[in-house]
Amino acid sequence: MSNIRLIYRKEMSAYFDSAVAYITFIIFLLITGWFFTSSFFLVGQSDLRILFNTVPVVFLFFIPAITMGLLARENHAGTMEFLTTLPVQEADIVLGKFFASVVLISIGLSFTLVHFITLLFVGTNPDPGALLAGYAGLVLVGAVYASIGLLGSAVSNNQITSFLISFVIIFILFLLDKILLFVPSFMAGILQFLSIEYHFSNIRRGVIDSRNLIYFFSMIFFFLTLSIRVLEIRKWR
Amino acid sequence: MIKVEHLTKNYGNLTAVDDISFEVRDGEILGFLGPNGAGKSTTLRIMTSYLTPTAGNIYINDMNVLDDSLNIRKVIGYLPENNPLYPEMTVYDFLRFTAAVRGIEGNAFTIRLKEVSELCGLKGVIQKKISELSKGYRQRTGLAQAIFHNPEILILDEPTTGLDPNQIVEIRNLIKQLGKEKTVVISSHILQEIQATADRMIIINQGKIAADGTIDEIMGSFMGLTRLHLEVENADDVSPLSKLHPDLKIVETLSNGPVRKIVLEYPNKLDLRKDVFKCAVARKWEILEMTRHRTSLEDMFRILTVKEGGEA
């Protein structure tokens, strides 16, 4: 079996053997559920806009919490020495853990499909294509956040530090779209292009454009590569 | 075969390992002895690719740790210092994970699991969580992980720390048994440990090799001193003793009535007991007691490792 899969499996059982996964799911569903239902009937529209607006904000806190321990705990407990002296590449470790966190996020997200199904029944003329595209977009947003979370986890032995580092990076990317009014126009274009919200909003509308996909995948690639480099550099200290 | 060539490792300004070279032959058990912070773990960590050298290189079966790290890790079994394990895993899951990374799965795993758990005495705890295990069982789990893929080379960093005397004996026997067919490098700051397990030892201090050889060789080359304790009656003038050999020194004389206690000191390579006896007989002294104290291995270890550092 490939090493990535073995690391992935190890992390998945670590998530599900402890209470982490279950607690994460419950809190995630409570928060998104409350935001969704509390205004759903007031707005009276057949879309999941509220959900799609809320989830990235919830992710901002949740994903750093899910990923903070992935590498920091191994660094702290010394198990990194065990893991990196096995015939495993640093890339296998980072990718295995990355996939585990993305799958955990996707499982959490899949529970919110209840809202989607509710909408199919009670809504008028919903557009399932756009809604599913929105979900795909959320998974991509989650994957970008998770890759940032891994970087935060790689640079520290301390989970709280890891959380804060990832949180700050994600928060900056999250804010970019909202500060466009305050920056000079020549920068606005660049900042907008870097903002997650900008690319997600396109996908959410049901328009899956290769430009947006390239953005998401290059962000993930960039942060994962950086995390792998951080692990490699540790050997040279 | 392990060949360490001019290995140096700096941590910032601190030189942990300072230009050391040595070889470990196939099938040898090498003891790596030194006080805490001497550079033992650093050297082993470079061997296992956890760290990279600042200068120099290590060759394992003619592959070097910089270019062939992954292949080297395949032939090595490593028990890191402090034996880091995943507390939330069961022994079974932990070994299954390690084995799978080493490419041992399915039936091969089941067969090997049985062998290893028997060898390491893990049978009763296979399904337990590692966090529930005693220190001794954790150490065995660490050892089981290291030998699971039947590696050619076994590297054990302080394998008996924190174990009780019975467990220490068990682990040492296990290491000796494994050493019959494998190349083993075992590090320790405890001399008896090395003495009990290793064929050859390297004493390392402040990042440098202080001695390298079998225990007898090291003792032989080491210019230790013998102390001869005498209890003699009717010896009024002890000065004839000092004329027996130019290297002999009278360290202490103590009179208690007619009995005199005398302590003589001379290099290990001499044996002056007969001369002392003849000298006493010639002067009609009555020897009540004569005891020889050779510099022990501990003394030697202390002298070798304190000499340069100035602190133990």
Considering the domain architecture, whether residues B28 and B146 belong to the same structural domain is answered as yes
Which residues from B are below 8 Å from A1, CB to CB? 100, 105
- Residues A139 and A105 sit within 8 Å (Cβ to Cβ): yes
Domain extents in chain A: 3-234
pLDDT digits (tens, 9 = 90+) for B162-205: 788 888 888 888 888 888 889 999 998 888 888 888 889 998 98
Q: What is the pLDDT of residue A182?
A: 82
Domain assignment present for residue B309? The answer is no
Domain finish residue from B221, B252, B282 = B221
Domain assignment present for residue B304? The answer is no
Do the chains contact at B50 and A17, CB–CB below 8 Å?
no
Q: Of B172, B169, B160, which is closest to residue B135 (Cα–Cα)?
A: B160
Share of chain B above pLDDT 70, in %: 94
- Residues A165 and A152 sit within 8 Å (Cβ to Cβ): yes
pLDDT digits (tens, 9 = 90+) for B131-155: 999 888 999 999 999 999 999 999 9
Q: What is the pLDDT of residue B220?
A: 66
Measured CA to CA, the distance from residue A32 to residue A60 in angstroms comes to 13
Which residues from A are below 8 Å from B11, CB to CB? 237
Domain assignment present for residue B143? The answer is yes
Domain assignment present for residue B300? The answer is no
Q: What is the pLDDT of residue B120?
A: 87
Considering the domain architecture, whether residues B50 and B84 belong to the same structural domain is answered as yes
DSSP A126-195: --HHHHHHHHHHHHHHHHHHHHHHHHHHHS-S-HHHHHHHHHHHHHHHHHGGGSGGGS-HHHHHHHHHH-
Considering the domain architecture, whether residues B260 and B144 belong to the same structural domain is answered as no
Considering the domain architecture, whether residues B28 and B170 belong to the same structural domain is answered as yes
- Radius of gyration for chain B, computed over Cα atoms and rounded to the nearest angstrom: 25
Share of chain B above pLDDT 90, in %: 43
Considering the domain architecture, whether residues B229 and B190 belong to the same structural domain is answered as no
Do the chains contact at A237 and B11, CB–CB below 8 Å?
yes
Domain finish residue from B221, B248, B268 = B221
Measure A120 CA to nearest chain B CA, in Å: 42
For position B238, which CATH number holds?
3.30.70
Q: What is the pLDDT of residue B309?
A: 44
Measured CA to CA, the distance from residue B14 to residue B6 in angstroms comes to 17
Considering the domain architecture, whether residues B151 and B99 belong to the same structural domain is answered as yes
Q: What tokens appear for B237 in the block?
A: 């003038």
Domain assignment present for residue B301? The answer is no
* Domain extent at residue B240: 225-294
For position B97, which CATH number holds?
3.40.50.300
**Is the pLDDT at B217 greater than 80, yes or no?**
no
pLDDT digits (tens, 9 = 90+) for B20-33: 999 999 989 999 98
Do the chains contact at B70 and A89, CB–CB below 8 Å?
yes
- Residues B216 and B201 sit within 8 Å (Cβ to Cβ): no
Measured CA to CA, the distance from residue A221 to residue A209 in angstroms comes to 18
Considering the domain architecture, whether residues B173 and B204 belong to the same structural domain is answered as yes
Q: What is the pLDDT of residue B45?
A: 94
Q: What tokens appear for A87 in the block?
A: 């015939």
Considering the domain architecture, whether residues B259 and B213 belong to the same structural domain is answered as no
Considering the domain architecture, whether residues B269 and B143 belong to the same structural domain is answered as no
Q: What is the pTM of this model?
A: 0.84
Q: Over chain B, what is the mean pLDDT?
A: 87
Considering the domain architecture, whether residues B72 and B129 belong to the same structural domain is answered as yes
Measured CA to CA, the distance from residue A94 to residue A66 in angstroms comes to 14
Mean pLDDT for the stretch of residues A221-229: 97
Residue B312 — pLDDT band, cuts 50, 70, 90? very low
Residue of B nearest to A16 (CA): B88
Domain finish residue from B183, B203, B221 = B221
Q: How far is CA B194 from CA B20, B156, B189, B191, in A?
A: 20, 12, 9, 5
Per the structure, how many domains does chain B have?
2
Please, how many CA atoms are within 13 Å of residue A234, restricted to the half-sphere of its CB?
21
Residue B284 — pLDDT band, cuts 50, 70, 90? confident
Q: What is the pLDDT of residue A46?
A: 64
Domain assignment present for residue B33? The answer is yes
Considering the domain architecture, whether residues B193 and B240 belong to the same structural domain is answered as no
Considering the domain architecture, whether residues B200 and B231 belong to the same structural domain is answered as no
pLDDT digits (tens, 9 = 90+) for B33-54: 888 888 999 999 999 999 999 9
Do the chains contact at A81 and B50, CB–CB below 8 Å?
yes
